[in-house]
Amino acid sequence: MSDQIAQRMQKLEALRAAGVNVYGGLKVEGLSLSSDVRARYEAAEKSVGYVWTPPPPKSWAKPKDADAAAAPAQPEQEQKGVEKPGQPKPESAEPKIEVPEIRATLAGRLMIMRVMGKAAFADLKDSAGRIQLYAQKNTLGDERFAAFKNLDLGDIVSVTGVMFRTNAGEVTLKVESFTLQSKALRPLPEKWHGLTDVEQRYRQRYVDLIVNDDARRMFRTRAAIVRSIREFLDGRGFMEVETPMLQPIPGGAAARPFKTHYNALDCPMYMRIAPELYLKRLLVGGYDKVFEINRNFRNEGMSRRHNPEFTMMEVYQAFGDCSTMMELVESLVTTIAETVMGSLVIKNSDGVEINLTRPWRRVAYADLVKERMGADWYELSREQRAAKAQALGLKHIDAATWSDLEITHEIYEKTIEHTLIQPTFVTRLPAVLVPLAKLAPDDPSVVDVFELEINGQEIAPGYSENNDAVDQRARFEAQARRVEGTHEEESGKIDEDFLTALEFGMPPAGGMGIGIDRLIMLLTGAASIRDVLLFPQLRPQ
């Protein structure tokens, strides 16, 4: 144990012995937020026409009367006389404006203290921000002033007093009484640099949130974004639902699931990799507009863009289609950017500007590929394609084992996707890649879907959902054969009950998913998904 913790333990015991309730008592009555109190005080100043002006520099040469400036003798004594608190200031040659008294009670964490003998300044941080406290021996009395100085940085206190403005112009609460609400046993990180060690910021997010205002702001923004998504969808008549996260068959995506075991039923269970198949059951049930915002779990690696659990929003609209969803996501993202971030132009973590102004580019997958690889790409043989891919640096592509489609898709993912910085709807993807979507009416080799790319990342896929029960079964079976023996095998299991639901008839529908964490990264310019997750996954220590 560090000596500082030991010291604080001793202090805590001493306080207890003196009868102090070191962890606070009853609820704090009449509690205000620092931001509100500051605003009230500033309004009070305004109401009487008070405008703060900086005091004259340190010598008290400011004339109390006209001659005083000419008499430099004994400025110190004059200062003392002037500064005696609680007395009308004698220098009021110019009329003094009385600001109405604003009393307040605040509560928060003590972040810094500057003690000057018989007075002390401290910064209190509450959920709204920082505010300065001023404690004075004359006001508090010897004993309470000593107790105030005895507080530790990090302690949580409530304070009651009167607002004023210091010589330096800072709105400050003069403490008349205070109560220790929670003793901190551990010292805070350094006041200037804060906590910068990224590992510690993630592992001890609570400390990060105490000292780093950026972190606090980030998660408030996150909350605001999620709230406005809900408001937006609510405004369009969508119903929010919650479907199982613990599923007997993990479906709706191709990914490795987390496997667990349910004791009561003595059967294997999976953490969901997507809510899709359950939300579609609700379309069958007659809810035409539903959405869910909740966690998905994928048993895959972590990276700057991946966390094993992440927040997904999926939305379905009966009697809509892929184009319905394009309009929806365009409208949703621009609305959020404007209302929460205040701008349609955002900067990514490299400082590149992204303009979200509608309409967004729409381009077919095959056209992007041709744009990159030449107009004759789809006429080339597999060997020719593999050769061209290798020429681009994709050495691992092998014509002997890779299909045409795999080669093309590898090129899309490795050389095209990350170049789509400005919002782009990539449409008409190869049907094999998307078993849950409707085939394009004019070309059964592609599906009627989009993938929305912004900042080189897939932000949202949207589909014209497949509601053909027989076709869906066939494509599931093809998918199951495709992934058989691979690590995706468990996500290739066929959900018979879902197919049964389709057999009752599902209305044609548009569906879309948004990776919420990535959307937040995009809007806030965060470079790592860990910066937008309160408690990102780390290896246990």
Partner RNA sequence: GAGUUGGUAGCUCAGUCGGUAGAGCAACGCCCUUUUAAGGCGUGGGUCCCGGGUUCGAAUCCCGGCCAACUCACCA
For the segment 139-158, give every residue that binds RNA (CB under 7 A): 152-153
By beta-carbon proximity to RNA, the closer residue of 113 and 341 is 113
Tell me if 395 contacts RNA by CB under 7 A: no
The helix/strand/coil state of 215 is helix
Tell me if 539 contacts RNA by CB under 7 A: yes
Distance of closest approach, residue 505 Cβ to RNA, in angstroms: 28
The single residue listed with the structure tokens 């640096």 is 393
For the segment 69-108, give every residue that binds RNA (CB under 7 A): 83, 85
Segment interacting with RNA (CB under 7 A) among 307-315, 327-335, 372-380, 504-512: 307-315
Per-residue tokens: 45: 């100043």
Name the residue among 276, 246, 240, 277 with its Cα closest to residue 259: 246
Distance of closest approach, residue 531 Cβ to RNA, in angstroms: 8
Tell me if 109 contacts RNA by CB under 7 A: no
By beta-carbon proximity to RNA, the closer residue of 284 and 360 is 360
What is the longest distance spanned by two Cα atoms in the chain? Answer: 102
Tell me if 2 contacts RNA by CB under 7 A: yes
Given a contact cutoff of 8 angstroms between Cβ atoms, the answer to whether 524 and 515 are in contact is no
| Choice from 39, 223, 387, 527 touching RNA (CB under 7 A) | 527
Distance of closest approach, residue 155 Cβ to RNA, in angstroms: 10
Contacts of 254 (CB under 8 A, 6+ apart): 479, 483, 488, 491, 492
By beta-carbon proximity to RNA, the closer residue of 306 and 388 is 306
Distance of closest approach, residue 373 Cβ to RNA, in angstroms: 18
By beta-carbon proximity to RNA, the closer residue of 178 and 310 is 310
| Choice from 116, 264, 265, 400 touching RNA (CB under 7 A) | 116
| Choice from 216, 370, 388, 414 touching RNA (CB under 7 A) | 414
For the segment 316-375, give every residue that binds RNA (CB under 7 A): none
By beta-carbon proximity to RNA, the closer residue of 289 and 427 is 427
By beta-carbon proximity to RNA, the closer residue of 510 and 513 is 513
CA angle 74, 79, 81 (to 5 degrees): 100
Segment interacting with RNA (CB under 7 A) among 16-24, 188-196, 228-236, 496-504: 188-196
Tell me if 314 contacts RNA by CB under 7 A: no
By beta-carbon proximity to RNA, the closer residue of 203 and 473 is 203
The helix/strand/coil state of 331 is helix
Distance CA 104, CA 31 (A): 7
Per-residue tokens: 155: 């302690």
By beta-carbon proximity to RNA, the closer residue of 277 and 284 is 277
Given a contact cutoff of 8 angstroms between Cβ atoms, the answer to whether 524 and 185 are in contact is no
Distance CA 176, CA 86 (A): 13
| Choice from 215, 254, 318, 354 touching RNA (CB under 7 A) | 254
By beta-carbon proximity to RNA, the closer residue of 284 and 516 is 516
| Choice from 52, 121, 219, 232 touching RNA (CB under 7 A) | 121
Given a contact cutoff of 8 angstroms between Cβ atoms, the answer to whether 148 and 175 are in contact is yes
Distance of closest approach, residue 37 Cβ to RNA, in angstroms: 15
What radius of gyration, in Å, describes the C-alpha atoms of the chain?
A: 32
Segment interacting with RNA (CB under 7 A) among 99-107, 132-140, 325-333, 497-505: 132-140
Given a contact cutoff of 8 angstroms between Cβ atoms, the answer to whether 150 and 11 are in contact is yes
DSSP tag of 419: G
Q: Which residues pair with 462 in a beta bridge?
A: 450, 512
Distance of closest approach, residue 144 Cβ to RNA, in angstroms: 13
Distance CA 256, CA 259 (A): 9
DSSP tag of 258: P
| Choice from 187, 248, 507, 525 touching RNA (CB under 7 A) | 187
Contacts of 431 (CB under 8 A, 6+ apart): 437, 439, 444, 445, 446, 447
Amino acid at 532: V
Distance CA 368, CA 371 (A): 5
Amino acid at 436: L
The helix/strand/coil state of 198 is helix
The helix/strand/coil state of 209 is helix
Q: Are strands 171-182 and 129-136 parallel, antiparallel or unpaired?
A: parallel
Segment interacting with RNA (CB under 7 A) among 69-77, 251-259, 262-270, 353-361: 251-259
| Choice from 4, 77, 127, 357 touching RNA (CB under 7 A) | 4
For the segment 475-494, give every residue that binds RNA (CB under 7 A): 487-488
Distance of closest approach, residue 448 Cβ to RNA, in angstroms: 18
For the segment 415-454, give every residue that binds RNA (CB under 7 A): none
Tell me if 53 contacts RNA by CB under 7 A: no
